[in-house]
């Protein structure tokens, strides 16, 4: 894709660190379930997933949330299997509620990875999460329901969006996935930059400079496609491996960044240049792609990286969810 338009530089301010510069052109999201991190870096939004919640659930400072989730579910008339599953859901919601007390924007809460190919199951889980948030005094406008970017995930998102339930399409590694999500009217997508890089480094044995990073290039193309063809779905780069990747996507709608990389950005005052904008996207040489289910599945199949990383991501999130259930099974 061409980027012949002039790249903007963030207006300089004495002592302004890179994180604050980035916040002036991109909505910064914290990729963590840790409350202290959220308070320190003051992101607009926050994202969670089963891996992050599993990690947080084993930290002493969140023991009270775990105990509360267990206590609340014990009051319900459920069998043991249903009780364990409900405790996991309850903990996801409790973390989300606490996070929303810290940030001004939205929190993303992930649906079960095991539902990634189940349209009805995804819709039921999303509605359940929204209901649970509402019971805790949180409106749906502050919630993003995370759904894997499978064909079934996009079908569920299309229906949920019409109900006013905003979806964050995760585990996204390719343009056809992004197009299907946008055609479904999803509120937001999370293309995984670092995992794309991981695959290419393993496949080729090469290292990549940030500007040539395959994950960075993928997000640039998706962003340009959306802006050029008038899609309103937000693009949130995710899963970064280094600060260089985040800076190469400065100007993207949103970026969700780990605590380690937030710290690196905050510690530097080097200037940040805007690399993405609707104006730059308008000049890109891209053709519009028409998708149906058959073409989606074929294009995804032809992309070995996207096929493998989507499947791997679903498996890994499911494995961490099972670890979380095991943790609660022991407590119950």
Residue with tokens 């998102």: 157
CA-closest candidate to residue 171, choices 126, 220, 113: 113
The total of other beta-carbon atoms located within 10 Å of residue 112's CB is 18
3-state DSSP assignment of residue 85:
helix
Minimum mean pLDDT among 153-162, 180-189, 280-289: which range? 280-289
pTM score, whole prediction: 0.92
CA-closest candidate to residue 248, choices 215, 200, 225, 199: 215
Reply yes or no on whether the pLDDT at 5 is more than 50. Answer: no
The total of other beta-carbon atoms located within 10 Å of residue 181's CB is 29
Cβ atoms of residues 21 and 287 within 8 Å: no
pLDDT in tens, 293-307: 999 999 999 999 999
3-state DSSP assignment of residue 235:
strand
Query: Average of pLDDT values for 3-30?
Result: 73
What are residue 289's phi and psi, to 5 degrees?
-115, 130
3-state DSSP assignment of residue 291:
coil
CA-closest candidate to residue 33, choices 59, 14, 10: 59
pLDDT in tens, 48-102: 888 888 888 888 999 999 899 989 998 998 888 899 899 999 999 999 999 999 9
CA-closest candidate to residue 191, choices 217, 211, 229: 217
Q: Which residues pair with 254 in a beta bridge?
A: 27, 236
Burial pattern 35-62, b for ≥16 Cβ within 10 A else e, equals bebbeebebebbbbbbbbbbebbeeeeb
Sequential DSSP letters for 171-208: EE-SHHHHHHHHHTT-SEEEEBHHHHHHHHHHHH----
Cβ atoms of residues 39 and 301 within 8 Å: no
What pLDDT is recorded for position 56?
86
Q: Can you state the angle between helices 175-183 and 293-302, rounded to 10 degrees?
A: 160
Catalogue the active-site residues.
Answer: 146
What pLDDT is recorded for position 201?
97
What are residue 256's phi and psi, to 5 degrees?
-105, 125
Domains of the chain with bracketed CATH: 18-331 (3.20.20.70)
CA-closest candidate to residue 149, choices 254, 26, 296, 27: 296
What rounded mean pLDDT belongs to the chain? 93
List Cα–Cα distances, 198 to 68, 177, 261, 272, 309, in angstroms. Answer: 38, 19, 17, 25, 10
């Amino acid at each position: 894709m061409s980027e012949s338009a002039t790249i903007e530089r963030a207006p300089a301010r004495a002592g302004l660190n890179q994180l604050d510069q980035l916040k002036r052109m991109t909505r910064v999201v914290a990729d963590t379930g840790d409350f202290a991190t959220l308070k320190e870096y003051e992101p607009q939004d926050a994202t969670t997933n089963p891996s992050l919640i599993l990690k947080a659930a084993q930290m002493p400072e969140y023991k009270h949330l775990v105990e509360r989730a267990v206590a609340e579910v014990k009051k319900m008339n459920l069998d043991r299997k249903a009780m364990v599953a409900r405790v996991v859901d309850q903990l996801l919601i409790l973390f989300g509620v606490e996070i929303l007390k810290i940030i001004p924007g939205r929190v993303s809460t992930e649906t079960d990875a095991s539902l990634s190919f189940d349209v009805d199951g995804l819709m039921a889980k999303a509605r359940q999460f929204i209901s649970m948030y509402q019971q805790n005094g949180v409106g749906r406008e502050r919630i993003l329901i995370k759904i894997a970017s499978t064909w079934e995930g996009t079908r569920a998102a299309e229906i949920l969006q019409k109900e006013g339930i905003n979806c964050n399409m995760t585990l996204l590694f390719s343009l056809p996935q992004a197009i299907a999500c946008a055609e479904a009217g999803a509120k937001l997508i999370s293309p995984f930059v670092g995992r794309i890089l991981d695959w290419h480094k393993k496949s080729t044995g090469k290292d990549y400079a940030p500007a040539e990073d395959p994950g960075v290039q993928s997000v640039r193309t998706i962003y340009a496609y959306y802006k050029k063809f008038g899609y309103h779905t937000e693009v949130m780069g995710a899963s970064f491996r280094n600060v260089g990747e985040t800076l190469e996507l400065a100007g993207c709608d949103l970026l969700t960044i780990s605590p380690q990389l937030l710290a690196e950005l905050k510690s530097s005052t080097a200037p940040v240049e805007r690399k993405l904008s609707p104006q730059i996207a308008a000049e890109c040489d891209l053709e519009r792609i028409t998708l149906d289910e058959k073409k989606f599945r074929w294009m995804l199949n032809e992309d070995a990286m996207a096929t493998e990383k989507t499947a791997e991501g679903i498996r890994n999130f499911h494995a961490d969810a099972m670890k979380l259930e095991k943790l609660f099974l022991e407590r119950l």
